Each structure stands twice: as structure tokens, then as C-alpha cells.
Structure 1
Amino acid sequence: MGQCVNNKLTNYPNTKTPNKHEKTLSDMDETTVDSTYKLNICGSFRVVSPNGERLEVVSKKARAILAILALSPNLERQRGWLMDRLWGSREKCQAQASLRHELSTLRKIFGPPDTSPIEIRRDCVRLIKDRIHVDALEGDADGELLEGIDIVGEDGFEDWLRTARSATMQPAHRNPLLHRLSGAIAPCHTIKIGLQNVMTAPEDMRAATTGNILLGKITHFFMEFGGFEVVDLRGPDQNTAPCVIPDVYLQLFAQSNDLRVEISLNLLRSSDKSIIWSQVRHIPVTEQGNITDWSLANELSDQIFTKLAAQPEQFSTEPHLAAALAVQGINSMFSLTARNLDLSDKSFALACDLNESSSILAWRAYLGAHWMEEQDSCEREDILARTYEYAERALALDPYNGLTLSLLSFVSAFVFRDFEQATELIDRAHMVQSDHVMTHDAQALLLLYKGDLVAARKSAMKAAMLGRFLPHRYAFVTTLCMIDTLNGDYRSGIRNGNLALSLQPKNTGKYYPPTLRYLGACYAQMGQIGRARETFGQLARVEPHLSSAIIGTQEYPVPSAQAANVIGNSLLLCDL
């Protein structure tokens, strides 16, 4: 992952003004040969060569590939993405062979690479913009996208086609979704959150200060996640009509009461000012008026985020749907159900199709760590390649997003074992003052891998406190169990390990592998061999090849040599 922080822009558009000796477009001879292919993907499918010859593309999936590329950002897609959409029901080796066959067919149809409108690389496929004219992108489409094309059994393709058909029903210049699908320059569509003045008694400065700090922390959460825009309307001229109309407003009432500040926070719909979410809470303060626990900000942020994402139909368009899909992806990732990782990946993919953002791509890379926990070694290279791709794209979109940097710091350490890269990324997250729960968890795990257990525990405690209201809070308690294990505090490790198990989703038939790994080690080191074997037995359902022999190998998901020694020794004590 060493290259993924290299964010220098290398593809600047050519803006040089021609000098008097150069020909401009208007100077060109009118008889210049047109070297552009024409691709009609709406109505009757048709490909026409520069000399006017109609080219026969018989295969439905070859036609689908051309349409997908034409409507993709920068006219480009990764091979893995195409396989997921068009051969998602097949085994990987079959999908790879089928894609190679279709690409070989297209290569033969379009001829030599120096004039072909399609470029086929080892990892991706793209259309060359200057060599092809696509009806759907030029406002002259006539008919339904991929009319008559039906690929039975491929839900991923049907989902994509449904979204794309909706986009192509309008001319491209009127449809921002189509602009984004094609990679054209279009305004960034976000969910806009308006901040109103904190309402309190004029002399109650403690309440006003507390309320404004709370609003700042909540809005920082949304800005880090991506897909949201904060419209700050606070100030003496709040009643003046804003230049940007928010989708929702945050309204906060605050009042000091002894050693606490009572707050009432409302989320209002912009269209009719109706309250769609509301909470009344108390924030404890010291005698000096200082607030020592801001975990409430994370709890409220998560509730507002879930409300906005869970009911996208109450607002406007696809940004809300993208946010909903992102939440589904995160929840599925940590749900510990049989197909949770597949469902998570599909949710993230659909969210990126609608509104690709740095943080959603970073979550997709983070998902790679969960894949590494469960997949056989034969899948390792594919997981590494996909994870690297998502990490690169995430940083290219926003190299200073605190959540992105935090998630990718963990990915660098856990997936790629690049602790230097991980340290650089987490340092940048702190530089932009990220206080996200994932920042503290990533910091704790990185310090654990590097052997600084005292500092690791401090960060882990912060993450556990901030994340105690999140559905995946068991992961933060598991980090504490891991630190206890390496510290030799096996009693605390057993306590935190069992707490983490109690916080995990019930009746899924599946447990979080790191919890079992370190809890089993604690039992073994305490001499409770029966419980250790039982715990490792549950782990073996996820890791059927579990044994002391594989601990410490590059493939086993334990980046710390100290952790590998403790777990390996514990398995030996259990005769495993």
C-alpha cells in the first residue's frame, strides 16, 4: 500500500493556448477523416466504425460490457467489478474465463489497439473517450437502455441496469446521476444539514457554549463520513434566506441546571419544518463548567445518521439512497450472519455507483480485513488486489478525510503489514483533528501491533467509550481483550472477551473471530483448558484449518509476533 498516499495530480487537462504556428480545431481541413466509433446503447443496439460499417456485437454480455463502461466514471471499470455484475453467480475461475472470452471477442471486433476505442488492461477495462461517441452521453438517446437485454440470474447486473435506465430516461445535461455515471463534470450532490442558532437564555453562556460545541462535533462526524454538507446558518442574520437550502435543519435548545446542561435536539425537514427526529439529554459538567464526556455526540450523530439513511424516500434523490446503502454495508459487515460480507460488499458497491465518496471506498477497503479473517489462502491475492484498489481510490478522492485515514491505517497494518504506512496515515488523521471512534480504535490496534501496550490501552478505552452506543461496539471491547492478553492480564482478558461475546448479535451461529482467538488464549494461559478448547472449537468453525502450526504465518490474520506467540502457545496447551 506504499503508493496509495501518493496523491500528486498527474493528469492535468491540457489548457495550453495554441501559438500562431499551431493549428486550432477551427483551422482543420473540413475533409479531415472522422476516427470516432459510434455506440448506440439506447433503443436498438448498434456499433458503427469510423468508415460507417456496422459492427456485429452478438453476445448480450459483450453489449452489456460496452454499456457499463460507457456509463462508468471515466468510462472505466475494474475486471473484478465487471465479474461481480455479469458473472456474480459463477465461481471465480469461471467468471474470469468468461470475462476473458468476452473481452477477446471485443478486441477482435475493434481491431488494432492504436485505433480501437477499448483498452483492455490486466486489472481494468476502459473506453477511450476521444475514439467513441455514446448516444446516452450526448443527449441524443432514443429508446430504453439495452433494450431487450435480460441476463437471467445475475442480480448485480439487474440492479445496475435498473439504476442506469432510470438515469438515461432524461437528457444527460438534465440528469446529474447520468453525469456522475459517465464521469462527466457535475455538481457534487450531498445531503445538506443546516445549523440553526442554539436557543437558550441570553445570560446562560455555559449552555450556549456547550450547545455550539455539541453541534460542532455532530457536524464533524457527518463531514468525515462524506456525502453530507453542513450549511452553517448561525449568526445574527439567521432569518436571512440562505444561498443554499438545506435538506434538514438541526435545532438545539440548551439550559444550564446545576452541574449539567439540558439539551433538546430536533431534526427538521426543510420542506415543511416538521420534526422527524428528536432527543432530550443531559450533559454533565464540572464545577468549572468543563465537559469531560463527549460520547453523547457520537451517540446522537449515529442516531441522526441512521434516521437520514433509513428513510431516504422522505427527502429527494440518490445521495440519500447512497447514504442508506452505506449504513447497510457497515451494519452488514459487523452483523456476523452467514452472508454478511457478501451483503456488505454489494451495499457498498451500489452506494459507490450512486455517489462514490472517499469514506465509502475506505469502508470497502476495511471490509478486506474481514474477508482476510474468513477466506482461504487461495483467495488472498484477489482480496489484497481489491483492498489496495479501494484504498488508492479513497485517498485520491480525499487525502485528508479523518475517517478515511483512520480506516486505511488499520488496513495498512492488518492487511498489508505495513506499519510505517499505517503510522503515517493515523498521524494525518490526528493532524486533521479526527475524533472519530474508528480513529481511536485504529490507533489502539496499531500501537498493539507495535508493542506499545500502555498507549494502546488508552486509545482502546477512548474507542470503547465513544463507541458504546454503536451496534458494532463488540469490536472495540475485543480490542481491549487483545491488549489484556498481550499484557498478561488474563483475568481482564476473560472479562472483556466474554463482554464482547455478549454484545455480539444473537442467534447468528457465528462469532467475531478475534474475540474467540484472544479469549481462548486467556483461558489456556489461566489453565482453564476445557473452556479454551471450547472457545477454540467455535473459532475452528470459521477457521477449519486452525492449529498452532499456522499461527505466525503471513496468511494468518495476526500481525503481531507477540500475539502469534501467545495464541500459538495456547493452542499447543490445548493439543491443537
Structure 2
Amino acid sequence: MVLPLGRKTRALLAILALSAPRPIMRPRLAELLWSRRLEEQARASLRQEIHRLLEALQPVGADVLRVTRDHLAIRSDLVWIDVNEVLNASVANPSALSMMTAELLEDFDDVDPALDQWLLTERARLRDHARGVAEVLLKQQTSPDGVIQSAQQLLGIDRAHEGGWRALIRAHAERGERGLAIQAFERCRVALAERLDAAPSQETQRLVTEVRSGTVAVPPQRPPAVFARPPIPEGERQSVTVGVRPLQLIGSNGSDAQLGMGLAEDIAAALSQFQWLSMVPSSSLTQFDRDATMLRRSFGVDFLLDGNIHQLGSRTRASVWLMDLRDENRIAWSQRFDWTSSDILTLQDDMVAEIAAQLGPEIQMAESRRVAQQGDEPRTAYDLVLRALPLTARLRRDEFNQAELLLNEALTLDPDYAPAHVSLAYHLNFRVGQGWASDVAKAVADAGRHASRAIALDPASARAFAVAGHVRAFMDKRPREALELHARALSLNPNLPMAWGFSAATYTYLGELDEAARRFARYKRLSPNDPNTFLFDAAMTLMELQRRDYDAAIQCGRRTCELNPNFVSGFRHYLCALGHAGLTEEATRMRSRLLALDPTTTVATAVWAVPLQHGDKDHYAAGLLLAGLPAD
């Protein structure tokens, strides 16, 4: 057996062996083994390791490793690779399953974060295949002896397979070995506690009660795999299940080993304040040794957040990624965060807030895309609301009307579904603002009614209070009364970007511009890529107008109209800034686009729509007149 001395050299050999006979490109190898180095440094290190590997492989022949300018490959026809034997195992030829006695390449953990992620996928691929073959073999057994042998093989692959434990308990009982059956139950209980942080299911406990009383049914049951927390059936969903894995500290000396777990628990707690997320305790996830597939099987985890933290003096960088476990562990979102702080508590607070604030809306958008791809499958109120959200935000008239139908259908299915009431109140706010309401007074009243109903149904929903505050400030034009609603939203979820954005807009309407600016800055810091950015950039335009900073107002206005070219209020505020700045040519173009969106817009209707509470309404009207908008 040839085994290179260096750990990185052995890791390089392992990557090539697991990928055989497929060649691996050099940049990919450099990325897997030196992800924290600059590209040129990584490539130079790769060249050194290739040289060392070639030297180590000389005793077995020069042709084993193929090296070209672009890629490397191992000739699988010249070598025997144990993993390939396991992956080729089948019900007809299961002998290779006996090799599943340890974690794949367990001594290569922490070589490099990128390699850790690659190993996670490879381990899941190997374990899933072996488990699947072993499950079929167990189901085929008809005698207690055969069940015991197959169950033990399955449990050697997956110690937390509760179906395997039940089969073993029942088989021992059927052979009259009540003591061994009870011992198997105790081992099952320990395995589930260690690996899943869970207790045996009621089905398993009932079986043991039967064993103790001697009433176990003689015909062997073919046990389905039952897990601690199975995935929720699609038709019963009202949330998604998320896990946050303890973040890995790069370059830590071990003195702050608990920091990764603490951050994970804090992020999970922050995410739990988003009503559409159901969290799995981070401590439970450590039982799986980075096995994403088992998390899905055992806890019903839909999305898994993972990442690492690199500290260098007062600078901290966190790289996090979100895996969709329902879609072959695809990375659905990733982000890098940078902070500079010497105060560890402030640093942790900022880190948790920003990650949670960005991740919450990202998961909701991912769910909306998933539901939209289901076509005309049976729809629940949860599905209907998710379908409606992006249709509302795009502000295209036909899609917007379709969104309203979906939200009303959701309330027909479930009149007490709070998220549907919140979304309909939010939707009606746009209908009035876009000039699409045939009866404005009724739309305003309906929005207030839905917002109040949502709060009554779910008084812990920060989103319900935030939307209710915006309805009160923008539609009812009573911003002072809205402040208490916004304060309540932020007390429920201080990391909800919408709550900061709407409260900043409310302070803008009141003319309290310093507080408005502070809250806008907090909103932008928390979620710079929030899908609702166009809405709050429009409110920032209005704030800069009141400051008489027309350059800043124009910048905000342009950004608003680029992000959503269908948003009428954004064009109104932008046009006002152009008028005051004397940019006649640009004002003419924007006026044409505004009137194409809403031909009924005049200075009078625009001034009525903007909920300013002081003399700046005259300033707003003057800017629109200077931009050439008809007076009435």
C-alpha cells in the first residue's frame, strides 16, 4: 500500500481516488485544498503536492496518475478503490457493505473548509447508497435470524436508524430472547440520544412494552424507517424547518471553541422570530458529524445554514451558505460578512443580526420559487400566500390582480390564517399607491381590517405589526399613531428589515429626519439586498427631498426606478427631485414613464397620496410642477 507522508498530499490522493476515473481540473483541486489562499499561492502549493504525490506513487508505476497542464486523474483500471466497491454494492451483491465500519476519510476533517464541504457531500453519497441497499436487504428477511443479521448490518451503517433497531428488538423477542431485546432497546435509546438528541418514538416504546409483557405478535413486521422528526407532508406545511450548524472558527487556538456553537444558537434564536421558520436546536445537529442527509431524514430539515469564521486581530470575516436539503444539498444562498470590532459582544450581536436579517427573507423567496414550480398541485393557504408574494412585489397589473385572487382563495380555505391577512393588507397598500383602487376608501378600510385581524390572530407576528403600522401611516395618514405599532414589531423581531424600513418611512412622514436616517441606515446594514429595497429607497428619496439634498434624492430615485420600473410612488418622488434640481431633460423622460404607468397622476393626486404631516407638501408640489406634471 502506498501512503504519502504529507496530510495535504494524502488529501490530494483521496480526492483523485473518489473522483476516478473522472479527471479533476487543477483550479478545482487548488480551491478544495487551499481555499484561504490567493489563487497564485494555491496553484503553487498544488504543484508542490503533485510532485510529492508522484514521488510517493513511483513504486506502483508511473502510469497510475495522469497529469496534464489542466487536470489530474487516477487510472481506476490500474488501482482498487474501496469506495467504488461500496458504491457498486447491490442487493444481489452486498458484500462490500461490510467495509462501512468508519466515517469516510475521517482523518481529513479541518484540512480546509472547502474540502470539509466536499467531504460532506461524498460521505452523504456513500452512506445513502449503503443505507438504501441495507434497508432493502432487511425488508427481504423472513426469519428472525436473517432479520438480526441484516438489522445489525444496517445499524453498522446508521446507528440512529430506528426502524433497524425495532426490527432487531422484534427479532430477538420472536426467538424468545427477551433480555437481548430489552438490551437492544437500551442501545437504541443511547444511540438516538447521542446522534439525534431525541428519545425513541412511541412506536418503539410500545414494542418494548409488548416485549416486557410477552405479547409481541409472532408474524414479523417489515418496519418502515421511522425517525425522530419526519419531514412535514407538503399539504400540511405552514413553515419551513431550518437548522444552523455550529460555525467553524478558522485559526482558533481552542480557547474559544464554544463560540461557534454559541453563534449558531444565537442565529437560530434570531431566525425563530421569523414566523415562517421552524428551527431545530443547533445542539442536535452536532450528532450527525456534518451528515446533511441524516438531518433531512431525522429532523425534517429543509434548509441547513453552515459556515466558518476567520478572525485576524480586530477584523472578523464570516462566510455562510444555505443548503437546500430537499434539492440534493444544493447551495441556495451564500454570503460573506466583514466586521471590525474589538468588542466581542458587539461583534456577536452584529454578526447574528445581519445573518438572520438577510437569511429570513431569502428562505421565504426560495419557498415562493419552490411553490411556484409545483404547477396546479393541490394548494394550501400557505402555498397560496407564497405564490402571491412575488406577484405583488413585481407590480405588473395582471400578476398583481392574480396575487389578490390567490390571497382571497387562501382566506377562503383558512379564514384564520394570519399570514394571508398580513399579505392582503400589504397588497392593498400597493393597490392604493399605484392608483389601481376603484374605491380608495374601501381599499383603505379593508387594509386596516386585514392588518388588525392578523394581529388578533397572531399577536407574536412582527410582520403583522410592521404592515399594520405602514397601513396606519401611509394609507390612513396617521403616522404618529403608527409609531407604537412599529415599536411593537421591532420588539418582537429586531432583525426584521421590513420593520426598520417602514418605521424609517413613518419618521420621514413626520419630518423627524435624523431618526428616519438612523433607521434607514439600520435597515440597509441589516439587509442590503432585501427584495423590498425599492419601496424603502423611495421613502429615502422623500427624506432627502425634505433635507433639500436634491443630488442624494435623485440618486435614491434613480435606484428605486431601476429596481422596480413599475412603482408609481418611486417615480413621483424622483420627478419631484428632478424638478427642484432643474434637470429638465431627465424630468421629461421620467414624466412620460410615470404617466404611462398612471395616466391619472397630477400634482393634486400626488400631493394627496404622500402622507407628509407638515408644510413640506407645498415643497413637494412645487417640485412636481417644475418637472412639468399637470397641476390637476
TM-score over 0.5 (shorter chain): yes
Which string of whole-angstrom CA distances, capped at 9 and with x for unpartnered residues, describes residues 190-219 of structure 1? Answer: 433344444558855668536644664466
Structure 2: distance between partners of 1:424 and 1:329: 28
Q: Aligned pair 1:541/2:541, yes or no?
A: no
3-state SS of 2:553 partner:
helix
* Whole-angstrom distance in 2 between the partners of 1:376 and 1:311: 29
Secondary structure of the corresponding residue to residue 241 of structure 2: strand
Report the CA distance shift for 1:551/1:374 in structure 2 as closer, same or farther (over 3 A): closer
**Aligned residues, how many?**
382
What is the CA RMSD across the aligned residues, in angstroms?
3.9
1:224 corresponding residue in structure 2: 274
Deviation at 1:385, TM superposition (A): 3.1
Kindly state the Cα deviation for residue 427 of structure 1 after the two structures are TM-superposed: 1.5
Amino acid at match of 2:387: Q
1:92-133 alpha-carbon deviations (Å, 9 max, x no partner): xxxxxxxxxxxxxxxxxxxxxxxxxxxxxxxxxxxxxxxxxx
Structure 2 residue 354 is matched with structure 1 residue 267: no
Q: Which residue of 2 aligns with 1:209?
A: 259
Counterpart of 2:579? 524
Cα offsets for 1:508-530 (capped at 9, x unmatched): xx531122111111111122334
Q: Which residue of 2 aligns with 1:193?
A: 242
Q: Which residue of 2 aligns with 1:566?
A: 619
> TM-score, normalising length from structure 2?
0.53
**Separation (CA, whole Å) in 2 of partners of 1:248 and 1:476:** 31
Q: 2:395 is matched with which residue?
A: 336
User: Residues 519 and 211 from structure 1, CA distance in 2 versus in 1: closer, same or farther, beyond 3 angstroms?
Assistant: farther
Deviation at 1:411, TM superposition (A): 0.9
Aligned-pair CA distance for 1:366: 1.3
Describe the shift of the 1:350–1:286 C-alpha distance in structure 2 as closer, same or farther (beyond 3 A): same
> 1-side partners of 2:260 and 2:286: how far apart?
21
Say if 2:544 is the partner of 1:484: yes
Q: RCO greater where, 1 or 2, for CA within 8 Å and sep 6 or more?
A: 1
How far does residue 265 in structure 1 lie from its aligned partner after superposition?
Answer: 3.6
Task: Tell me how far apart the structure 1 counterparts of residues 272 and 586 of structure 2 sit (CA, whole Å).
Answer: 43
Q: What's the TM-score, normalizing by structure 1?
A: 0.57
Cα separation, 1, equivalents of 2:500 and 2:241: 27
Structure 2 unaligned regions, length at least 5: 1-231
- 2:360 matches 1:286: no
1:255 to 1:328, Cα distance in 2 relative to 1, 3 A: same
1:428 to 485, 488, 493: 488
The DSSP-based 3-state class of the residue aligned with 1:283 is: strand
Q: Cα–Cα, structure 1 residues 537 and 207, in superposed 2: closer, same or farther, change >3 Å? A: farther
Q: Which amino acid aligns with 2:570?
A: T
CA contact (8 A) 1:406 1:429 kept: yes
> Which structure has the larger Rg over C-alpha atoms?
2
Q: 1:320 to 1:199 in 2, by over 3 A?
A: farther
Cα shift at 1:380: 1.1
Cα distance 1:253–1:204, how it changes in 2: closer, same or farther (>3 A)?
Answer: farther
1:400 and 2:460 matched:
yes
- What does residue 364 of structure 1 align with? 424
Change (3 A) 1:311 1:377: closer
Corresponding residue of 1:254:
308
Are the equivalent residues in 2 in contact too, given 1:218–1:300 (CA < 8 A)?
Answer: no
The alignment-based identity, stated in percent, is 15
Do 2:317 and 2:337's aligned partners in 1 also have CA atoms closer than 8 Å? yes
Structure-1 separation of matches of 2:322 and 2:605: 53
- Work out whether residues 358 and 394 of structure 1, in 8 Å CA contact, stay in contact via their aligned partners in 2: yes
Distance 1:251 1:540 in 2: 45
Alpha-carbon offset, residue 351 of structure 1: 4.3
Task: Choose which of 447, 456, 463 in structure 2 pairs with 1:387.
Answer: 447
CA contact (8 A) 1:477 1:499 kept: yes
Equivalent residue, structure 1, for 2:471: 411
- The Cα offsets for residues 258-290 of structure 1, whole Å up to 9 and x where unpaired, read as 2334445453638xx952435554432335252
Which residue of structure 2 aligns with residue 43 of structure 1?
A: none
